[in-house]
Chains A and B, each alone.
Chain A
Amino acid sequence: MIGYALEVAQAALALLLAPGLVGLIRWMKARLQNRRGAPVLQPYWELRKLFRKEVIVSNNASWLFRATPFIVFASAVAVTFLVPILAVPLPFDGIGDLLVVVYLLLLGTFFLSLAGLDPGSPFGGMGASREMTVAALAEPTVALAIFALALSAGSTNLGQIVARTMTNPGAALSPGHLLAFGALFIVTLAETGRLPIDNPATHLELTMIHEAMVLEYSGRYLALIEWAAAVKLLIFFSLLGNLFVPWGVSMALTPATLAIAVASLLAKLVILAGVVAVLETRIAKLRLFRVPELLSVSFVLALLAVTSSFLLR
């Protein structure tokens, strides 16, 4: 019973923390660029504002356009139940392993690009085609990178992968893990629309991907999509943090270990947010034609990770 309560608490925590994480990255980036920056809590105010605003929908839009925000948000929320954010093992571990997680995330992306095409605006179509290009290259890499971990743990279950790495700490420094970490990190930037692939700070630029797809959305629909995007970022960060550096994740369901788990999760998120902020300050956006090349780098890294964990077992 306490396991189920913990599942709900974990999902609620993820939903609550996600906008803050986005705000934190923005704030760190602003400080690094010598700007004062909006407060960390700014995304929460933005969400509240959007939820109050009226929804304007194009006359050409079909039911798909209206259903998409809910599908995107629901798929992101469903993933928060399946990813080890605070504790392992959890009762829902049996429902979905890494394949379910990867394809639930892809489901959201898929519907978002459909909705981008739906109202027939040129921006949406462009964004959707680009998003599909990126997703088609990024999705297999996510699966492959986590497979590398699954191979050394002997299970595709995310909770078991975490538990296995904790009992065998040397594995965290094995080349398979490191290569997979590199691959998953690049893919995280691609999937969540961060800088070398997409620029989250611009609204009107010909090279934008995510913003182009959601350009037609407004009001609470936009709020749901933005929130889901933030949750996706948090999911990827906690995958990076908990699968590769699992220390801190609670193995027993006692208050003390759970407190440690929350603290270590926050620490990991802050560290990763710092890394992303520094990276985004130092590099420029890639030309669109170079994006598939970067993603094939990460694919090759993931492939090598699988190979080395398969052969060095």
Chain B
Amino acid sequence: MDSVFSQLCVLGSSLALITGLILLWRRGVTAYISAFTWQSRAITVVTVVVAYFGPDHELYWVAGALFILKGVVIPRLLKQMERRFAAERELDPYVNTATSLVISGLLVLFGYAITRPLVALSHLPTRAGMPLAMGLVLVSLFVIISRKKALTQVIGFLMLENGLALLAVLGTYGIPLIVELGVFLDVLMGFLVMQIFIYQIHETFESIDVEQLSNLRH
């Protein structure tokens, strides 16, 4: 039973990581949003699996909240924003695609290296997925620093949060429900604030390219 449990967890976390890598390959905000949506769904599934095998009934609520917030609400808001900035769909990252893929591969290796002591300490059947979650965190950090458009940086931030949520679920079977809800609220608020920022940036600079922020206007 435990082996099925750990296999499923590792499978789900690999899927989450792969969607992060696919995002690096794809171009266009629409593809980014769909990759993020699929990633959130994969993490929801992992949470449900942990809730079932844990067994920890609070996690069902967490999974439900996660799905509604990151699988439905935020993607919809992102799509709205994307429609507004339709003219700026082409993305040109600081680092080209092939290099960023190789770098993210190395980052995942690094994630494996730094979670080794954690995995060695843990006795949970979910521990094998933890390096993958850490890899996802590192890859999303890389997405944030290597992309130019503010919107894609926001998606990178949301992926980072996804990675952290995954790490929490796999490492500790989830944090208490009240804390989890606080985190969700935080994410939503952070996202809304960033949305306002992006609209303001767009208003002032007529572009959401963050490179433009270093230029003087007026």
Query: In the bound complex, what is the Cα–Cα distance between A175 and B116 (angstroms)?
Result: 17
Query: In the bound complex, what is the Cα–Cα distance between A293 and B108 (angstroms)?
Result: 18
- Decide: A293 and B104 in contact? CB cutoff 8 A: no
Smallest Cβ-Cβ distance to A300: which chain B residue? B105
- Decide: A300 and B101 in contact? CB cutoff 8 A: yes
Interface assignment of A312: CB less than 8 Å from any CB of chain B: yes
Smallest Cβ-Cβ distance to B25: which chain A residue? A297
- Decide: A293 and B101 in contact? CB cutoff 8 A: yes
Query: In the bound complex, what is the Cα–Cα distance between A155 and B7 (angstroms)?
Result: 23
- Decide: A300 and B21 in contact? CB cutoff 8 A: yes
User: Binding site of A, secondary structure by majority: helix, strand, loop or mixed?
Assistant: helix
The residues of B that contact A293 with a CB separation of less than 8 Å are 25, 97-98, 101
User: Binding site of B, secondary structure by majority: helix, strand, loop or mixed?
Assistant: helix
Interface assignment of A281: CB less than 8 Å from any CB of chain B: no
- Decide: B97 and A304 in contact? CB cutoff 8 A: no
Smallest Cβ-Cβ distance to A173: which chain B residue? B7
Smallest Cβ-Cβ distance to A295: which chain B residue? B98
Interface assignment of A62: CB less than 8 Å from any CB of chain B: no
Interface assignment of A307: CB less than 8 Å from any CB of chain B: yes
The residues of B that contact A297 with a CB separation of less than 8 Å are 21-22, 25, 101
Interface assignment of B112: CB less than 8 Å from any CB of chain A: yes
* Interface contact tally, CB-CB below 8 A: 57
Q: Mark B8-28, 1 if CB is under 8 A from A, else 0.
A: 001101100110011001000
- Residue from A170, A175, A292 within 8 A of B132 (CB atoms): A175
Give B79 Cβ to nearest chain A Cβ, in Å.
22
Q: Mark B77-114, 1 if CB is under 8 A from A, else 0.
A: 00000000000000000000110011011001100100
Smallest Cβ-Cβ distance to A290: which chain B residue? B97
Given A175-B14, A307-B109, A311-B112, also A296-B101 (CB < 8 A): yes
Give A294 Cβ to nearest chain B Cβ, in Å.
7
- Decide: B11 and A170 in contact? CB cutoff 8 A: no
Interface assignment of B131: CB less than 8 Å from any CB of chain A: yes
Interface assignment of B128: CB less than 8 Å from any CB of chain A: yes
Given A173-B7, A311-B131, 8 extra CB contacts under 8 A:
A170-B3, A179-B18, A294-B25, A296-B98, A304-B105, A307-B109, A308-B112, A312-B10
Name A residues whose Cβ lies closer than 8 Å to a Cβ of B: 170, 173-175, 178-179, 182, 292-294, 296-297, 299-301, 303-304, 307-308, 311-312
20 A-B pairs (CB sep. < 8 Å): A174-B7, A175-B10, A175-B11, A175-B132, A293-B25, A294-B25, A296-B97, A296-B101, A296-B102, A297-B101, A299-B105, A300-B21, A301-B21, A303-B105, A303-B109, A307-B108, A307-B109, A308-B14, A311-B116, A312-B10
Nearest 7 Cβ contacts at the A-B interface:
A300-B105, A175-B14, A296-B98, A293-B97, A296-B101, A300-B101, A303-B105
